[in-house]
């Protein structure tokens, strides 16, 4: 196929190659952290937390603080362990609402952002409304959503979705637009379609932006789910449980539910970071379109 | 770097075909930006012809509209006056037929794709049954990146990245290469090597159905332009227009040692003189 053989720059390539190989080690897929660095990050906050709990325990016991005001950390832990099955199953419900809302909110926001990134008219029409919805405290809409969507899981998902969409929308628009002008020129020079430019250029360029917004949105969706559950205390979930136990003045059980929410929040955030390490810049690997 | 000259294989060049449709033909093509503060003429109406098989360099001061002229030829921007033709058709037809191989000052690679997937990009986009394309493995070898096919661009040096960009442009086997200061971001040593790399790659045989391969090479460097081209076009400061057309008399095929010859030095002197000449009258000549 080629008319002349190539035997050039081999000696010059060697240092490049060595340099490239060195960097490859560093850029290789992130391995799971070994135990020692992990412990270095986990142990200090854990110790601080235990010290805080012990301090509260001493304060409550020595100060004779009423259990109606502040439960003993030890009794919170006791309730949490003995009724773990309850907190776990209610927690699963809350997670389901939160993730469903996140999925709906992210999908809708990404689609909208794709439209906005391609059309200035759509941007002018939609963005002000999106910002209006954003500055409105959407939990104020929960009573409406209950009327429209019923006393079931749907209004909870709607609130979680509505609270998560904005960071995704703004980041996705920025991501879809953050394409190299010359790269865009190259796509046009081979008569690539708008869809091809989106699929092969804009969408992968937006992946890091989408993950950045997902880190914010995942905790927002949990907030939305819990607040919606306050209103729908007959439909389960940790928010409903907190609402009921607050009425029963069982603060130890309220705190146990909060502890479960904290664990869920940590788990979901960690999962997003882990997913980012696996999927970011890897959208069309291995070799898309082959 | 003295051993480099000896190890350079001879460059096989395409025959210039004066009879065929010119690779590039500009007929009074110019570009004026309209704004509230008035019109800004980026490129004065320009007429030029690049014959099929010809390697033409375009030199001029910064901001004279070289890149704009290249974007007009590539069909990325429409001229406000005159017209541009590529192989006798509009630039849009050239895009559709994948006859343009673009290389920019920056490599402009997709960070999330491996070297080989970046090179393959032009073949994946707008796929057509008639695409001949080149063997990607062979192409990687030709640009001297054997073994780096699975690397990401960020793992390569600047010179290697630019070779990936060259390979990407060549992968669709285009009869016209449009090179916009492709080596400007490289260090001087790599840059001098890349000249002859480019000539060699340009000469890589291609689809016989297409016209002989031509190239338009935009550069700031007079020596670079004279070293590799058949003809150097000199542009004036903005609004850019072509003020000199210098045929390069250095023998073919070009080799690094030619850069020490009297002919090479004479050719450079002619181009530099053209660049220095007072070119833009305060009042346009035809306005009087």
Report pLDDT digits (tens) over A186-222. 999 999 999 999 999 999 999 999 999 999 999 999 9
Q: How far is B223 from chain A (nearest CA, A)?
A: 21
Taking CB atoms within 8 Å and a gap of at least 24, the contacts of A109-115 are: A109/A164, A109/A165, A109/A166, A109/A168, A109/A169, A109/A172, A110/A168, A110/A172, A110/A210, A112/A169, A113/A168, A113/A169, A113/A172, A113/A173, A113/A175, A113/A176, A113/A206, A114/A172, A114/A176, A114/A198, A114/A202
CA atoms within 13 A on the CB side of B225: 29
Tens of pLDDT, residues A231-283: 998 889 999 999 999 999 999 999 999 999 999 999 999 999 888 888 776 54
Q: Is A182 on the interface with B (CB under 8 A)?
A: yes
CB B228 within 8 A of CB B56: no
In chain B, residues 114-173 whose CB comes closer than 8 Å to chain A: 114, 116-117, 120-122, 124-126, 134-135, 138, 141-142, 144, 147-148, 151-152, 154-157, 159-160, 168, 172
Round to whole Å and give the CA distance between B40 and A7.
Answer: 49
Fold of B21-278: Rossmann fold (3.40.50)
pLDDT of residue B1: 34
Round to whole Å and give the CA distance between A133 and A121.
Answer: 19
pLDDT of residue A214: 93
Region at B162 (left for phi over 0; alpha for psi -120 to 50; beta for the rest): alpha
Q: Is A193 on the interface with B (CB under 8 A)?
A: yes
Q: Is A178 on the interface with B (CB under 8 A)?
A: no
More confident of the two residues B9 and A152? A152
Q: Is B266 on the interface with A (CB under 8 A)?
A: no
Of the candidates B37, B35, B148, the residue with the CA atom closest to the CA atom of residue A16: B148
The overall average pLDDT reported for chain A is 84
For chain A, list the domains and their CATH numbers. Answer: 65-279 (1.10.3720.10)
Residue A228 has pLDDT above 80, yes or no: yes
Round to whole Å and give the CA distance between A248 and A109.
Answer: 40
Q: Which two tokens stand for residue B81?
A: 């006056």
Residues of A in contact with B152 (CB under 8 A): 27
Using CA atoms, how far residue B175 sits from A53, B204, B210, B232, in Å, is 75, 11, 6, 20
Tens of pLDDT, residues B207-218: 777 788 899 999
pLDDT beneath 50, residues of chain B: 1-10, 280-288
Q: What φ, ψ does residue B5 adopt, rounded to 5°?
A: -60, -45
Please tell me which of the candidates B96, B113, B203 has its beta carbon nearest to residue A284. Answer: B113
Tell me what ipTM this predicted complex has: 0.86
Tens of pLDDT, residues A260-274: 999 999 999 999 988
Q: Is B113 on the interface with A (CB under 8 A)?
A: yes
């Amino acid at each position: 196929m080629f008319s002349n053989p190539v035997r050039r720059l081999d000696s010059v390539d060697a240092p490049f190659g060595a340099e490239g190989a060195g960097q490859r080690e560093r850029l290789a897929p992130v391995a799971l952290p070994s135990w020692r660095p992990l412990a270095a990050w986990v142990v200090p906050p854990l110790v601080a937390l235990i010290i805080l709990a012990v301090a509260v325990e001493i304060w409550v016991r020595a100060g004779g603080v009423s259990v109606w005001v502040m439960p003993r950390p030890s009794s919170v832990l006791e309730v949490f362990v003995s009724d773990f099955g309850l907190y776990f199953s209610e927690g699963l419900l809350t997670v389901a609402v939160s993730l469903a809302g996140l999925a709906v909110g992210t999908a809708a926001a990404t689609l909208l952002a794709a439209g906005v990134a391609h059309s200035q008219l759509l941007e002018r029409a939609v963005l002000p409304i999106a910002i209006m919805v954003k500055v409105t405290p959407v939990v104020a809409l929960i009573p409406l959503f209950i009327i429209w969507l019923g006393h079931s899981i749907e209004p909870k998902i709607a609130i979680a979705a509505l609270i998560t969409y904005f960071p995704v929308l703004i980041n996705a628009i920025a991501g879809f637009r953050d394409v190299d002008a010359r790269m865009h020129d190259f796509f046009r020079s081979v008569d690539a379609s708008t869809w091809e430019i989106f699929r092969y250029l804009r969408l992968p360029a937006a992946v890091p932006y989408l993950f950045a917004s997902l880190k914010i949105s995942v905790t927002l969706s949990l907030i939305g789910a819990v607040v919606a559950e306050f209103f729908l205390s007959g439909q389960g979930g940790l928010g409903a449980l907190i609402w009921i136990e607050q009425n029963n003045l069982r603060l130890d059980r309220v705190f146990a539910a909060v502890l479960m929410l904290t664990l869920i929040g940590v788990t979901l955030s960690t999962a997003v970071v882990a997913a980012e390490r696996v999927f970011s810049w890897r959208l069309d690997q291995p070799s898309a379109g082959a | 770097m003295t051993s480099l000259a000896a190890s350079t294989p001879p460059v096989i060049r395409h025959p210039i075909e004066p009879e065929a449709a010119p690779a590039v033909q500009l007929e009074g093509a110019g570009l004026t930006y309209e704004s509230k503060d008035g019109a800004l003429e980026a490129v004065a109406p320009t007429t030029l012809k690049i014959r099929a098989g010809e390697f033409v360099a375009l030199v001029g001061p910064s901001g004279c509209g070289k890149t704009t002229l290249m974007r007009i030829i590539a069909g990325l921007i429409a001229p406000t006056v005159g017209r541009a033709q590529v192989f006798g058709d509009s630039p849009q037809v050239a895009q559709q037929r994948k006859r343009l191989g673009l290389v920019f000052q920056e490599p402009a690679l997709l960070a999330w794709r491996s070297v080989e997937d970046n090179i393959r990009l032009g073949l994946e986009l707008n796929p057509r049954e008639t695409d001949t394309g080149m063997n990607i493995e062979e192409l990687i070898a030709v640009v001297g990146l054997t073994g780096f096919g699975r690397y990401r661009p960020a793992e390569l040096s600047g010179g290697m990245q630019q070779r990936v960009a060259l390979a990407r442009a060549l992968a669709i086997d285009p009869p016209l290469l449009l090179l916009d200061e492709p080596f400007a971001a490289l260090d001087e040593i790599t840059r001098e090597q890349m000249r002859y790399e480019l000539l060699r790659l340009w000469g890589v045989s291609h689809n016989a159905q297409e016209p002989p391969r031509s190239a338009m090479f935009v550069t700031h460097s007079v020596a670079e332009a004279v070293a590799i081209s058949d003809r150097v076009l000199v542009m004036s400061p903005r609004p850019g227009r072509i003020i000199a057309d210098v045929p390069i008399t250095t023998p073919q095929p070009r080799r690094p040692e030619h850069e020490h010859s009297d002919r090479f030095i004479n050719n450079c002197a002619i181009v530099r003189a053209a660049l220095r000449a007072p070119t833009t009258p305060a009042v346009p000549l035809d306005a009087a």
